[in-house]
A = this chain, B = another copy of it.
């Protein structure tokens, strides 16, 4: 592979990192590694640099590196302001640190922004002038594409859709706020929905989980719904109702009609999407609701890697690492 045209895309998560060599919109040598207890900036940078070198050793060198980071990122300054999974990061100049370690150009951005860019170039957003990317996973992430460009706002912080207020006096959010959308439409949101339920079936439902709602994962809840469990089905509908209400808000503000939805919880798509569409139709004018398209992201786990790689323009010069 010609190192002049290959770029490494890194999709950094809270528990795992995924990376791969990207060329012509294809991922080669995808690696997935647990981050374990690594949290300090220097440790994480050293680990990522070693991972990049391991990729090089096996698949040849690349000319630049792009990173999607799970947090608030100023992409122009190359700084991570906050990353909930890496609580010690406050104003961490990650781009410079990683560039110093690798000796090549690095670009960073918010992880959902990177996925939006990936879906825009190679996935479900291809051909759409405007769309909003949502990721339903541990939290709710967002990336907004307007006029064929990632919309970053005044200082790079646009698309923080997980933190729109959907319940004025709602569940506390780890960010310090409350009633944020991601407290309802995410993996942790599922536990909140269980806690808030006054359905008498709840006790019986929670028995196998020792009464602990936080032990009910999205995967298990999907299996239960597939097996016909009524309580599990009702929960997915509630999840869908909140999803539709949030989409109603976003389409009202942005005037964007296409929503590309990814993240681990889309596995339960058929169990929450019909209710999401009903909820959306109840909350905005029918003329608007009928224009809104909810579609699944196309790239799966590779979206974050492809998008991170798309953050950088391949420079002239030698390979990095």
Do B255 and A178 touch across chains, with their CB atoms under 8 A apart? Answer: no
Q: How many whole Å from A107's CB to the nearest CB in chain B?
A: 18
| Contact partner, A250, options B175, B253, B287, B288, Cβ 8 Å | B253
- Contacts of A70-91 to chain B: CB distance below 8 A: 72, 81-82
CB-contact partner of A252 in B156, B163, B248, B257, under 8 A:
B163
Interface segment out of the listed A6-14, A146-154, A299-307: A146-154
Contact of A164 among B184, B242, B253, B257 (CB under 8 A): B253
Residue of B nearest to A287 (CB): B81
Are B177 and A283 interface neighbours, CB within 8 A?
yes
Tell me the complex Cα distance, A212–B117, Å.
53
Which stretch, A23-31, A35-43, A165-173, A225-233, touches the partner chain B?
A: A165-173
A45 at interface by CB-CB < 8 Å: no
Say if the beta carbon of A298 comes within 8 Å of chain B.
no
Copy total for this chain: 2
CA distance A157 to B257 in the complex (A): 10
Q: Does A246 contact B (CB under 8 A)?
A: yes
The reply on A61 being an interface residue by CB < 8 A is: no
A245 at the interface (CB under 8 A from B): yes
Within 8 A of B (CB), among A17-70: none
A158 — which chain B residues lie within 8 A by C-beta?
Answer: 253-256
Which of B163, B180, B283, B288 is within 8 Å of A165, CB to CB?
A: B283
* Measured CA separation A170–B184 after assembly (Å): 16
Which chain B residues lie closer than 8 Å to A170 at the CB level?
168
Q: How far is the CA of A246 from the CA of B245 in the complex (A)?
A: 14
30 A-B pairs whose Cβ atoms sit less than 8 Å apart in the complex:
A72-B288, A81-B285, A82-B287, A129-B154, A130-B153, A146-B146, A151-B254, A153-B256, A155-B291, A157-B288, A158-B254, A158-B255, A159-B253, A160-B253, A160-B255, A163-B248, A163-B249, A163-B252, A163-B283, A164-B253, A165-B246, A166-B166, A166-B168, A167-B167, A168-B170, A168-B245, A177-B282, A177-B283, A177-B284, A179-B245
Interface residues of A (CB under 8 A from B): 72, 81-82, 129-130, 142, 144, 146, 151-161, 163-168, 170, 175-180, 184, 242, 245-246, 248-250, 252-258, 282-285, 287-288, 291
Beyond A72-B287, A153-B254, A154-B291, list 17 extra A-B contacts (CB 8 Å). A72-B288, A142-B253, A154-B256, A154-B257, A155-B257, A159-B255, A160-B252, A160-B255, A164-B164, A165-B283, A166-B166, A168-B184, A168-B242, A176-B285, A180-B283, A250-B253, A253-B253
